[in-house]
Structure 1
Amino acid sequence: MSRAIRTMRLDKEASGKVPLSPGFFLLPSSLYPGEEPMEQGHTVVAASNEAGRTFIRLLLYKQLPVAALTNNKKEAKLLEQIGVPDILHVRTTHTKEVSAPAFPIRRLMIFESSLPLTCQYLLLTARWSVKTIMVITSARHPEAVYKSLGASCVVYSQTGEVGFLLSRLND
């Protein structure tokens, strides 16, 4: 079966640590406050590392609506090879020129590859109507920075493995 890949440009043109299991911490304790059923929108994933791409594969396997957020062509090509149906291209140097995608977004999950890139993604998506913005990081220090830029919660993972979040996506 052939799948069509939609690629969109999104510039003007187009609290306490709750231990989960060894190596994981959720910041703050409420993971998805007040969310509605999954049919309400896509999960958009900024998968700048292998952990993010693995999570996208899990979402695709579960046949959940997913889109990817990227700022470069090399990463977009990797995401196309994985089979991501919607790839949102953004220019991280022009944070004021980004418009929201045409489809509803339920949650945004940013897998941290660097503090500056994660901050840029948070600034770019600040005006989008998103119920939950989650940052997955292996560093504990950026929590306050990410929260001040709009992250709903920060998940700490030493390995980047956050497959346990899938059970929460169907709630």
Structure 2
Amino acid sequence: MASSNSEALGMTARQGREKQVYNAEGGRIVVGVVPIIQSTGQIVLVTSRKKSAEWLLPKGGWENDETQAQAAAREAHEESGIIGDIPASQPLGTFPHIKMCPVSNFPTCEFVFYEMHVTKLLDEWPEGAERKRDTFTYDKALELLKNKPYMRDAVLLCSLAPAQK
């Protein structure tokens, strides 16, 4: 088992980018999870803070005092109140992403997603007042992520994907 965030986690989300890790081109490295409830075969999604009708995978910045898997587990807790295990040491994949018409051709973000097996959904979590959380079938999650190809591609690589079974 690569990582777990079942240790005691606080009710405060990390803030700021002082410890943020960037790639060689200067793009921010963002880590996240495809959170799967194995007993139901469902995927947990959260709403965006900026667009409350937009569903997303939990994700956030990788900081220099943690591994990518630890950061992904932390972000899952902060954004969606998920506790779980990341069973693989390798991510599902790395997905470059260009945000808001950059001047260069370099990705402004590099997303790294891990599969997480959810063991607990908390009633309260650091960003719970700002986000909704819900569970969806594999197909519905793909539909809801249709405008986020880097997230959709991660779901297509998870253990629920027909090609992975």
TM-score exceeds 0.5: no
- The structure that is helix-richer by fraction is 1
